[in-house]
Structure 1
Amino acid sequence: MRHSEAAKSPLCGQLEQALNQESLPQEYFDWGNQLLRRLDKPVQVMVIGHPGSGKSAVIDMMLGQSVISRHADAPIIEVSYGPEDCVEIETRDGGTSRHPGTLADVPTSPDTVRVRQELPDTRLQNHSFVEVSLNGSDEQNHTTLQRAVRHADVILWCSETFGPTEQNLWATVPDEKKDHSFLVLTMADRQLMRGTLTGLLTDLDDFAAEEFLGVYPLATVQAITAQTAGQTVNAELWQSSGGKQLASDVLRQVELGRASDVDQAEMLVRQFAPKTEDQQEQQADTAAKTEPKPKNTPTDDLMHTALNLLQGRAKQMLAETDTAGNADEILSSCMDTVKDLTQTLLASQNRSPEVQAALDAAQDGEELLILFQLERGEDAAVDAVTLLLQLKREIADGIDQ
């Protein structure tokens, strides 16, 4: 689902203008088009697993209401924003039918191939859910998984034990997708009652640490009950079920992914979008003003020095992000920039809250850049430049406060 014209952000329009420039290099055009497609639709959270693994219940938990229930005969279920509760069912012969209400109350036929559930939940304007069931042969499941992850922004793999068959299947997923993935053990309450949960988590620890952002034991029924049984959320049950942590971390990943897309789009717009007459006049008016500026404090001076360092380096590296061949150089330049920023802030005796916040952010950035250098490649280089832009924005915000 794409956003309507009215719902599109001004940034999408500015990016479209930038992409229409005849002088735009092809590599930037391809990159910008990819960004535009991502910004033009909600972040897609893909919930994947074998039949009976609790996928539907996890989505119901994330929504805070019983919407899907059990529909094992629907290979693909999409949950997205719509003006009212409505279910669209597509069958094997290509026919479609629409029904008011939710899928929990609408029967589906055995020849159903896709279901789309629309809900007037404004959260779904930012992200949508897609449930994918792996109910075929090993070869069919491999093909289904590869198609699914190609369109996924965030992945939740649902399983009771995540055994060797699932591990082998998951191993075929590209690493860049694994960086935004969660392993959800959906029947943690059963495992706990059997006394097997601790051993299972120990067995999965090494594998999951390399393959997922984290392992989330989830008592799904309790998590849903915590949100739906009373007038308000049962905070204690919501926490103990594992639902609160999973929902919070998934939404955080959604926000980080969208923020990264926005940062990269803004970078392209600043470099390539044509300036409107109003913007040109505004720049001329600003240049003509001679009003005296307030005197800078020592904190302001230091923060401006840090900001100028980041602005200069980020602009310099923007032109270098076009090919994978110089990715190592970009990563190295980003690391040097953040180290210089850290040294600049450490060299000062000024420890105002703004300066300390900038120093903490720079030191955190160094740790992230070490990880990017280990990953290497074009994606890591783009993430590194995006990190510089985020640091620049945080420091600019500190100056404006």
Structure 2
Amino acid sequence: MTHPDPIQSPLFGQLQQALSQQGLPQEYFDWGQQLLQRLDKPVQVMVIGYPGSGKSTVIDMMLGQSVICRHAAAIPAHITAPIIEVCYGPEARIEIEAPDGRTSWHPGTLAQTALPPDTVRLRQELPGTRLQTHSFVEISLSGSAEQNHNILQRAARHADVILWCSEGFTPAEQSLWATVPDAKKDHSFLVLTMADRQIMRGTLTSLLAGLDGFAAEQFLGVYPLAAVQAITAQTADHTVNAQLWQSSGGRQLARDVQKQVELGRASDVDQAEMLVRQFAPKVADQQWQQTPPAPKPDPTPQNTPTDAFLHTALDLLQGRARQMLAETDGAANADAILSTCMDTVKDLSKTLLASQNRSPQVQAALDGAQDGEELLILFQLERGEDAAIDAVTLLLQLKREIADDISQ
């Protein structure tokens, strides 16, 4: 299937150039290639569930318009294609794939188009800014138990964020979902798509209570959603009905999914910038200067204002990042990186503990540093390249969170 050219940032080209250098350690080259693939495409949000579970309606809600379903009709139109991709394109158009592999393009949206009943895959392209950072892929589980298991495993491998859509999340669904790798569950949401019906029946409270223990371990959260009302809240009278948008459950789900998208992309960008800074060629028109590492802050308790403590913490993280870059200088040493990351987080905790009158921002940074220290212990036990990458990503995330607190 043809795809529009990706919207690439200058960082993409800089990373390509950095990876072209001779003598680059293999582990850094492999890491950089993975980052190039991720930067080359939007964050992928997989919307998965059985037929009739409200997947298309959830995507329409996230888009703020009726793209897949005709929600104004008495009965929303259901599309039987097992895979529907919604992504960025210069104009609204659809690609239809037949069972024999032939494809055809049609203008407009799926909600406006009559589709062949044997369609095996649909691709909806839409202009606008919403889909420039992430795309949606709807996966329908309509086969046997074994087929659904295999489809889910393949989908999970390619997903950055997963939304499992269901009316009641039955024991059969729970067993199927339990096979998803834990790393993917950390970026997944359980969406109860017909919460309005459950409320009318008086069963929503008991359903949520029954799912509480399982869902807490298997998902980031459970989101009861009256999806049609959420779409109405955004499209009626061309204005957003804030009260209906919130009461439908749409506002919270959309905000939390967007946060996952932003966190995923920010982590990729931070890691790519680190590689570029270390390995980009030092040519005349590019000055990649490394400043000396910041000195360790004095952990002696002081009555320093909140912003001063946060700035000190941020300077510490930035200085240590530059120090790691200077020390590695092309020689990858996972154990040394893990050790430096652990020392950095310990020093960060000491710095923040020095505040006698802690603000909520300082306390949040301290909690993050202490949680990070526990994670780094696990990383040190695992050792190796992957653990070192996770450790550096953790420091970058702490740095970003503190910087966000300072800017507020």
TM category (shorter chain) comes to 0.7 to 0.9
Q: 1:181 aligns with which of 168, 174, 188?
A: 188
User: In the alignment, is residue 89 of structure 1 matched against residue 123 of structure 2?
Assistant: no
In structure 2, what residue type is equivalent to 1:34?
A: Q
Q: Which residue of 2 aligns with 1:4?
A: 5
Q: 1:277 aligns with which of 248, 265, 284?
A: 284
Q: Which residue of 2 aligns with 1:140?
A: 147
In structure 2, what residue type is equivalent to 1:35?
A: L
CA pair 216-396 structure 1, distance change in 2 beyond 3 A = closer
Q: Which residue of 2 aligns with 1:367?
A: 371
Q: Which residue of 2 aligns with 1:290?
A: none
Counting matched residue pairs gives 382
Q: How far apart in 2 are the matches of 1:30 and 1:71?
A: 42
CA pair 384-362 structure 1, distance change in 2 beyond 3 A = farther
Instruction: Give the CA deviation at 1:38.
Output: 0.5
CA pair 205-333 structure 1, distance change in 2 beyond 3 A = farther
Query: CA-to-partner distance for each residue in 1:127-154, whole Å, 9 max, x for gaps?
Result: 1100000000011111111111111110
Query: CA-to-partner distance for each residue in 1:325-377, whole Å, 9 max, x for gaps?
Result: 85xx86665344223123124436798x9xx8566424323224435656875
CA pair 109-396 structure 1, distance change in 2 beyond 3 A = closer
SS in 1 for 2:191: strand
RMSD of aligned Cα (Å): 3.3
In structure 1, what residue type is equivalent to 2:196?
A: D
Instruction: Give the CA deviation at 1:192.
Output: 1.1
SS in 1 for 2:285: helix
Q: How far apart in 2 are the matches of 1:43 and 1:154?
A: 8
Q: Which residue of 1 aligns with 2:107?
A: 100
Q: Which residue of 2 aligns with 1:289?
A: none
C-alpha contact (below 8 Å) 2:365/2:402 kept by paired residues: no
What stretches of structure 2 of length at least 5 have no aligned partner? 70-76, 292-303
In structure 1, what residue type is equivalent to 2:350?
A: Q
Bigger helix fraction: 1
C-alpha contact (below 8 Å) 1:14/1:273 kept by paired residues: yes
Q: How far apart in 1 are the matches of 2:4 and 2:349?
A: 41
User: In the alignment, is residue 16 of structure 1 matched against residue 23 of structure 2?
Assistant: no
SS in 2 for 1:229: helix
Q: 1:209 aligns with which of 212, 216, 226?
A: 216
User: In the alignment, is residue 58 of structure 1 matched against residue 58 of structure 2?
Assistant: yes
Q: Which residue of 2 aligns with 1:230?
A: 237
C-alpha contact (below 8 Å) 2:185/2:218 kept by paired residues: yes
SS in 2 for 1:112: coil
CA pair 261-139 structure 1, distance change in 2 beyond 3 A = same
Q: How far apart in 1 are the matches of 2:189 and 2:276?
A: 33
- After TM superposition, the score normalised by the length of structure 2 is 0.83
Q: 1:195 aligns with which of 189, 192, 202?
A: 202
In structure 2, what residue type is equivalent to 1:175?
A: D
Q: How far apart in 2 are the matches of 1:301 and 1:217?
A: 42
Instruction: Give the CA deviation at 1:386.
Output: 1.9
User: In the alignment, is residue 241 of structure 1 matched against residue 248 of structure 2?
Assistant: yes
C-alpha contact (below 8 Å) 2:198/2:204 kept by paired residues: yes
Instruction: Give the CA deviation at 1:121.
Output: 2.0
SS in 1 for 2:22: coil
Moved more, 167-176 or 336-345: 336-345
CA pair 322-145 structure 1, distance change in 2 beyond 3 A = farther
Q: Which residue of 1 aligns with 2:301?
A: none
User: In the alignment, is residue 264 of structure 1 matched against residue 234 of structure 2?
Assistant: no
What stretches of structure 1 of length at least 5 have no aligned partner? 287-297
Q: How far apart in 1 are the matches of 2:339 and 2:289?
A: 35
Q: Which residue of 1 aligns with 2:300?
A: none
SS in 1 for 2:155: helix
Q: How far apart in 1 are the matches of 2:132 and 2:362?
A: 33
Q: How far apart in 2 are the matches of 1:387 and 1:78?
A: 32
SS in 2 for 1:111: coil
Query: CA-to-partner distance for each residue in 1:288-323, whole Å, 9 max, x for gaps?
Result: xxxxxxxxxx98997776455434543566659968
C-alpha contact (below 8 Å) 1:73/1:108 kept by paired residues: no
Q: Which residue of 1 aligns with 2:117?
A: 110
CA pair 332-210 structure 1, distance change in 2 beyond 3 A = farther
Instruction: Give the CA deviation at 1:396.
Output: 7.1
In structure 1, what residue type is equivalent to 2:112?
A: D
Identity between Structure 1 and Structure 2 (%): 72
Query: CA-to-partner distance for each residue in 1:380-399, whole Å, 9 max, x for gaps?
Result: 65343223234445667899
In structure 2, what residue type is equivalent to 1:120?
A: P
Q: How far apart in 2 are the matches of 1:16 and 1:86?
A: 32
